[in-house]
Amino acid sequence: MARTVIYDGLNLSLQKGTGVATYTRGLIQTVRELGYQTGIVHSVPTKVPRNAILREVVLFDDTSNRKLGHTAKGKRWLSRRIGAPLGVKPSRVELTGAVILKSLQGNVLDSEFLYASKDVFALARHHFKNFGKSLPLALPEKLDMFHSTYPLPIRARKALNITTIHDLVPLRLPYLTEDNKRYHYRLLRHLVQTSDHIVTVSETSRQDIIRFLGVDENRVTNTYQAVQVPDELRQKPEALAADEIAGIFNLDWKKYFLFFGAFEPKKNLSRLVEAYLSAKVDYPLIIVGAPGWKGDQTQLLIEDERFRFFLQQDNRIVPGRRIHRFDFVSYGLLVSLIRGARSVLFPSLYEGFGLPVLESMQLGTPVLTSTEGSVPEIAGDAAVLIDPYNTDSLRNAVRGLANDQDLCDHLAALGPKRAAKFSPARYQAAVSSLYDRLLDGK
């Protein structure tokens, strides 16, 4: 009989997606291909109905505009006061076909078991704050392992429990995140002591976890990550992709720079904008991402009227913008934007892995990225690596990519070869080895 692994759905509920959501989707797909049964525990903002159709409706209700951890106002004080000392038992949700899921293709994962529980992730946090312990989780089906894809104080009963810690950014660069650092440190210390195993996604993160959280090196495994852009997007004819970005964004193929990712301090976007503007290159900079914590200052810089330039169009001079920002584009359009970019610029101050770097290299787009964090592990010699704190180096690198076609051609050729080292097959082998080792030693 197939073994069963259950995952948290914390980041899967975020409609615009995160790096952790990409990780979770890729992990579950990989584990299913290995022959495991899988399940996902979702948090919903209301009590789970008894009616099967309503359960399905509540599960897929769009809660993307509600804050994570939303709790009904009348009972909020109670959950914060007492947590859930007896634990929670999520309800099984069967897909009846009542909800039309065509619009969610790619966001709904095939799994044998779907569960829903009211505010389960917020409740787990309150439970840990009150009792210093993980919230006990009792599932109706027998499971072999509960894999939390993000540090959450939840522990499934009668199963192995493993936790993925992607990075220690809140501890190593505390001034770049808005987390409650004392809570985060207490939680990580608790998880590394109580989890049966810790998983991470780079050797940099693995060494950080061993060194700063005091974990035995045998209890932390780096599986890396994989990314596989669908063939229909990766192999779309160049002319068709060029028509898309020209028609939708008014951009010419290979005549713009691109940044995409979370709009947060660790992404170093303010320094990138400063370096780009001072480089005085002819190509516009396209930014795909919505402002998050402390993103307002960078947004003001991007939208400053002083940063216009002039274009010659139809024998007349017209004003244009040097920097264009889009909150969100569909994944298919993002792939076309990456493919059509002169270079992807990603000078992050610290990453646990660096998915944008890997995605761009796989698509054959030159990458400028950082010497900090785990990114050099991923990029190797297939990208331009610069000190992300040095604006002059960043400016010179942008200028070099704008003017040196041979450099761009060289990086475009190296990128896919480097990306192949993080193939789905290699990732599957790493996950298979880890799960077999843990479950066989159970």
Q: Which domains does the chain have, with CATH numbers?
A: 4-226+424-440 (3.40.50.2000), 231-422 (3.40.50.2000)
| Amino acid making up residue 152 | L
Residue 81 has what pLDDT? 52
* Strand 160-164 relative to strand 367-370, pairing: unpaired
For residues 213 and 189, is the Cβ–Cβ distance under 8 A?
yes
Adjacent-strand bridge partners of 91: 116
Six-digit token string for 36: 């495991």
Q: Which alpha helices (H) appear in 345-423, and where do they start and end?
A: 355-362, 375-379, 391-403, 405-419
Helix count and strand count (H, E) for the chain:
17, 18
Q: What is the pLDDT of residue 64?
A: 44
User: What pLDDT was estimated at residue 335?
Assistant: 97
Cβ–Cβ under 8 Å, residues 281 and 398: yes
Residues 6 or more apart whose CB falls under 8 angstroms from that of 105 comprise none
**Is residue 40 within 8 Å of residue 242, measured between CB atoms?**
no
**DSSP one-letter code for 109:** P
Q: For position 314, what pLDDT does the model report?
A: 53
3-state secondary structure of 32: helix
Q: What are phi and psi of 326, to 5 degrees?
A: -125, 130
Distance of CA 50 to the CA centre of its chain: 34
Cβ pair 154, 146 in contact under 8 A: yes
Nearest by Cα to 422 from 233, 230, 260, 228 = 228
CA 10 to chain centre: 12
Amino acid at 371: T
| Block residue for tokens 């950082």 | 370
pLDDT of residue 303: 66
| Euclidean distance between CA atoms 33 and 37, whole angstroms | 10
Q: How far is CA 259 from the centre of its chain?
A: 15
Q: What is the pLDDT of residue 311?
A: 46
CA distance linking residue 43 with residue 58, whole number of Å: 10
User: Going by C-beta distance under 8 Å and a sequence separation of 6 or more, which residues neighbour residue 223?
Assistant: 199, 200, 201, 427, 430, 431, 434
Both tokens assigned to 301: 């810089």
**Nearest-angstrom CA–CA distance, 10 and 43:** 7
CB contact at 8 A, 285 and 326: no
Question: What is the DSSP code (8-state) at residue 88?
Answer: B
Q: What is the mean pLDDT of each run of 10 residues along the chain (442 residues)?
A: 92 70 93 96 93 92 50 50 77 92 72 94 93 94 96 96 97 91 97 98 98 97 93 95 95 96 88 93 91 66 59 48 85 96 97 96 98 97 98 97 98 97 97 97 72
Pairing type for strands 113-118 and 37-44 reads: parallel
Contact of 438 with 196, CB cutoff 8 Å: yes
Q: Token match 């897929």: residue?
A: 60
